[in-house]
Amino acid sequence: MADKKAQLIIEGAAPIDLPVYSGTLGPDVVDVRGLTGEGYFTFDPGFMATSSCESKITYIDGDKGILLHRGYPIEQLAEKADFLETCYLLLNGELPTDAEKAEFVSTINNHTMVHEQLKNFFNGFRRDAHPMAIMCGVVGALSAFYHDSLDINDHKHRQISAIRLIAKMPTLAAMVYKYSLGQPLMYPRNDLSYSENFLHMMFNSPCEEKKVNPVLAKAMDRIFVLHADHEQNASTSTVRLTGSSGANPFACIAAGIAALWGPAHGGANEAVLNMLDEIGDVSNIEKYLAKAKDKNDPFKLMGFGHRVYKNFDPRAKVMKQTCDEVLAELGINDPQLELAMKLEEIARNDPYFKERNLYPNVDFYSGIILKAIGIPTSIFTVIFATGRTPGWIAHWNEMISGPYKIGRPRQLYTGPTQRDYPTNK
């Protein structure tokens, strides 16, 4: 039922009435679906003004720097909830009771191992393969192992696939790292928390098991919480679009991982560290800022700017605080981290960045924290993917649970008009 009505007037044609709907928060939307019947499409490359779906999961106000999951501000979740509680919230719509949380954690723990045969897939990859290339492959391959949960129309199947994906992502992420080193793959330990277990699988070996530093485990958990969902971004929209064809959840999440890999999206955390390598020294900052401002130079300041946030990214605020905690705990004195802090300070006071509302985003600080924890740059985006998995699944599940249509955008065609194949060819 429309809340209001809009009228589209196109020269030479009768006015077209379009329904307008209001959400609980955010701008009203004009329902343009009826335009096709009138002989028109809308044109919105990059989906700057297009709501691709109705959703109850996450709300962002980019101008005010607000991010809510199921209504709860991200700052409060980062402070009070852990990652698995956030997963529960995203998947189920409400925070769990203590009993529900305990049951959820125990169910996740029951699924942390991957099928032994999945290890064979790793051997097919070069040791120097990019970890995201391996992740796309092995997460997609999960669909070949769990035939018992691939019926997307069965609520129970969707639930168990969600659990399997959230439980196995850290195991796979750590396996990717260990494979790159040529070290034995570590089994998960279910007596540890989600983030402790991840760091255990990353940094311990069968011949030496050290206790995971709780400050680093907390920082890791926070990174997962801060990445858990972000509304209809490129990878989530990819998951929805892939899922709209009826593809299985493992295939959909593999597609999301591929979309996340790009440097304009999740690949930015890795790109930040590569950029810092390129800048090299504080004395080069001005030169690189000039390059970032030069329209003829493709160089961009990685970790700055956001499609939606035109104010400080609320996740970046929490991430900066965590960054300070981790650097203090580890007593790190790394010239590259000093360079990052100086770059941040100079760019934030530069008129070009101020006028365009280009603030450091979540990836700027997460890259620095991950480096300090000892995680290699090439694994950064894999960690983003692990954190984003509950969001991807929540959106996929929301779509499949309601009435949906296969995603099929149209186009403004500007190619040749119909012509005949040459007779002399």
Residues near ligand CMC (CB under 6 A) are: 230, 233, 264-266, 268, 292, 300-307, 356, 358, 361-363
Which residue number places its CB atom closest to ligand CMC?
305
Q: With respect to ligand CMC, which residue has the nearer C-beta, 164 or 265?
A: 265
Do residues 219 and 322 make contact, with C-beta atoms less than 8 angstroms apart? Answer: yes
**Helix and strand numbers, DSSP H then E, in the chain:** 17, 6
Closest CA to 375 of 387, 392, 389, 361: 387
Q: How far is the CB of 32 from ligand CMC (least distance, A)?
A: 22
265, 277, 297, 420: the catalytic one is 265
Report d(CA 390, CA 293) in Å as an integer. 36
Does the active-site annotation cover 265? yes
Pick 354 or 356: Cβ nearer ligand CMC:
356
Smallest distance from the beta carbon of 269 to ligand CMC, in angstroms?
8
Nearer to ligand CMC, 164 or 315 (CB): 315
Residue of 130, 200, 230, 306 with catalytic role = 306
Q: What are φ and ψ of residue 169, in 5° steps?
A: -60, -45
CA torsion 262-217-116-84 (nearest 10°) is -80
Environment class of 106 (CB within 10 Å of its CB; exposed 0-12, middle 13-18, buried 19+): exposed
363 flagged as catalytic: yes
In the complex, minimum distance from the CB of residue 273 to ligand CMC, in angstroms, rounded to a whole number: 12
Which amino acid makes up residue 392? W
* Nearest-approach distance from CB 175 to ligand CMC, in angstroms: 24
Residue number, 198 or 353, with CB nearest to ligand CMC: 353
Q: Which residues contact 169 (CB under 8 A, 6 or more apart)?
A: 139, 385, 386, 389
SS3 sequence of 326-349: HHHHHCCCCHHHHHHHHHHHHHHC
Name the minimum Å distance from CB 315 to ligand CMC: 9
Closer by beta carbon to ligand CMC, 144 or else 264:
264
Instruction: Tell me which residues are annotated as active site.
Output: 265, 306, 363
